[in-house]
Structures are given as structure tokens and as C-alpha cells.
Amino acid sequence: MNTSSPRSGRIIAAITALALTAALTACKSSGPTTQSVTLNGAGSTFVNPAMSRWTYDFAKQNPGLNVNYQSIGSGGGVQQVKSGTVDFGASDYAIADKDLATMKPVLQIPETAGPVCITYNLPGVTQPLQLSAEAIAGIFLGKITTWHDPILQKDNPGVALPNIKIVVAHRTDGSGTTAAFTTYLSAVSPEWAAKVGSGGAVSWPVGLGGKGSEGVTAQVRQSPGGIGYVELIYAQQNKLAIASVRNQAGKYVAPSEASTTAAIVAFNDQLNKDPRLPIVNAPASAPDAYPISTLTFLIVPKDGTDAAKRSALKKFIQYIVTSGQAAAGALNYAPLPDGVKQYDQDLINQMTVNGQPVQ
């Protein structure tokens, strides 16, 4: 064969290209492959701003691993975990033992913490509002009905409060934010504890309902004289006014990452033993603590059948409780203390797939 002819050169080049293609294909088929995995989660609206950041960053850092999260409320997230329609849920309250008995085993993994803030709509009032526990309980019990009430004036000396009707907004769906808020009200008001109690869904004495933190935010925004409770970022994003709340030390404290961290520190000993316990109404020994603070939890089935999904889920949770804490901090959530992080890692290591440890 005359290898110097143009035709021969083209044949040799074609054979060489085919050989290289075959070799590359063989290398790819024999090496590891990246499997595309999509995780589905649902639940807390409180944690949704952080979850949106986490899912974005995680997918960017881990091509092929994606997380879809639906902000439907803590109660809805727990129910979807219970029915097996999602890979994980998120809730701002820990599931009670009696309810755990009706579910397949789950792990409740603290993911971050934040303040439940009191937001309001008072035209003409530019100075931040101050509210005592007496005032908040009185408003949500329906006993304080106008912004010109003497209790509110006492909390806000020198502020010209308008003589307009108070319009209360609250959640209509099962909500961890509601659980945290009503746990606080039950702690500071014996009357509230006796008449209403605490939980993700309660029988409200007064007010207009909204679905999710988004719904409460909308109710307050469109109602002059409105007041409601939401996660801090929702109020900030909607440019709503935020009240400072009087704590047990007698100090009016604004909701923030720092004041939530102070509440966590106040309950550090109990959290190291059991992070499911509430962190509302910190003792007077914590003067900088915001009194309506809460941990929020990932609700994760202990066992599963899809090895790829379980491995991706474990990786996602480990990201959240480690480097993901800084991302949440940028959105005014409080980082988990080291003791809770270790508690989380112990729980993560209990995850199984078909009864075997998740790799």
C-alpha cells in the first residue's frame, strides 16, 4: 500500500480517528459515571429563604445532584414525609412522641435557627415599635383592639401611636412558625396558655388568616393597623416594620442573627442534651436574647430503598450543617452551636438504605 498517496493518508487518518474514539469510549464506560439525582423536599416556610440558597449552592457544587423544595408549611411537610411522597421535610417544631408513634422512624435534625418577628403596618409611625409580652398577648387574644391602647403607649413613650383599629394576621396552615409563636405566648401569658395553648395550628381568638409566611406578610402589608408574625427575612424583603420585643431582662430586643444566637447560648446546656426543646423566653440572665426564637428541623426518614437518593440526601444534609451555616447566616439565620452540630452528625450517621449504612 502506498502510504504517501493522498487517498492512503485519508484512510489512515480515518482509521486513527476511529481508534481514538473507541479508546475514549472504552475509558468512559470503564470509569465512574455521574448519576443524576433529584431530591424532593417540602415543609417550613420559615426556613424557605435559607433552603432556596442551600439548594442552589448544593447543585452548583455537585453537578447532577438537584434538590426541589416546596414551601408549604411545617405541617404539610411532616404529612408528606409521613405519606412517603418526599425524600425529606422541614419543620420549625419537633414532632411530638405521640405523633412519632404513628410514623415510620424519622430523624429530626436541627438545621438552623431564627427569630419569629412581629411585623406591623402603622402609617406615619417611623420610630421602631416596642412591644412587651403583655401587649403581644393582649393583641392576639383580642383584648387590645386599638393602637392607642394605654399598654402600647406605655411600651412606646413619646411615640404618637395612631388611634386606629388593630388588624391581627395569623397563619391558617399547620405551621412551625405558629408553633414557636404560640409556645412563646403560652410561656408569657397564663391566660393564653389556658384559652388557646400552643401548637402548629390553634383556634385563634381573633384575626385574619393567611397561608404561609407569605400570606401573613401580604395581610399585614395591605392592612393599615395590621400586625402579624413571620420569619425575619419575609418582613425585610417586603420592607415591613419590625418590632423590638421586651425580654425577661426587661430589655427591648430586635430580632436578628445575634439576638437569636444569644437565645441559643442561654439554652446551650439543654440543647446539647435534646435540641428538640424550645428556646423561647430566655431567662433574665440573657439580656441580649430575642425572646421569640426557634430552631428548625430537617425531618428525614431513617431508612430508604434508593441508594443513590439516600447518598445524595446524606451529602446534602452534611452540607447544610457544615458550610451551609454561613450561607444561612447571610440571611440572618443563627448558626448552630458546636454541640448541636455534633448531635446532627450522630443522627446523620444513623441514616440507612435497606437497613445498611448510607455510603
Q: What is the pLDDT of residues 70-85, one digit of tens each?
A: 999 899 999 999 999 9
> Over 90: is that where the pLDDT of 241 sits?
yes
The model's pTM? 0.83
Q: What is the mean pLDDT of residues 84-112?
A: 94
Cα 314 to Cα 150: distance, rounded to the nearest angstrom:
53
Predicted local confidence at residue 128, as pLDDT: 92
Predicted local confidence at residue 17, as pLDDT: 42
Enter the CATH code of domain 37-113+294-357: 3.40.190.10
CA dihedral (72, 136, 252, 118) positive or negative: positive
> Over 90: is that where the pLDDT of 18 sits?
no
Predicted local confidence at residue 355, as pLDDT: 97
Residue with cell 397563619: 171
Confidence of residue 242 (pLDDT cuts 50, 70, 90): very high
Predicted local confidence at residue 305, as pLDDT: 97
For CATH 3.40.190.10, the residue range(s) in the chain are: 37-113+294-357, 115-266+278-293
Domain 115-266+278-293: what homologous superfamily? Periplasmic binding protein-like II (3.40.190.10)
> Over 90: is that where the pLDDT of 23 sits?
no
> Over 50: is that where the pLDDT of 12 sits?
no
Q: What is the mean pLDDT of residues 10-25?
A: 40
Q: What is the mean pLDDT of residues 242-270?
A: 96
Percentage, residues of the chain above pLDDT 70: 91
Report the range of poorest mean pLDDT among 20-29, 50-59, 102-111, 220-229.
20-29
> Over 80: is that where the pLDDT of 16 sits?
no
Q: What is the mean pLDDT of residues 221-247?
A: 93
Confidence of residue 96 (pLDDT cuts 50, 70, 90): confident
Confidence of residue 237 (pLDDT cuts 50, 70, 90): confident
Q: What is the mean pLDDT of residues 210-227?
A: 93
Predicted local confidence at residue 174, as pLDDT: 83
Q: What is the mean pLDDT of residues 311-340?
A: 94
Q: Residues 6 or more apart from 114 whose CB is under 8 A from it?
A: 46, 47, 231, 232, 257, 260, 293, 294, 296, 332, 333, 334
Residue with cell 431508612: 303
Of 221, 130, 217, nearest to 170 (Cα)?
A: 217
Predicted local confidence at residue 233, as pLDDT: 86
Of 132, 153, 210, nearest to 178 (Cα)?
A: 210
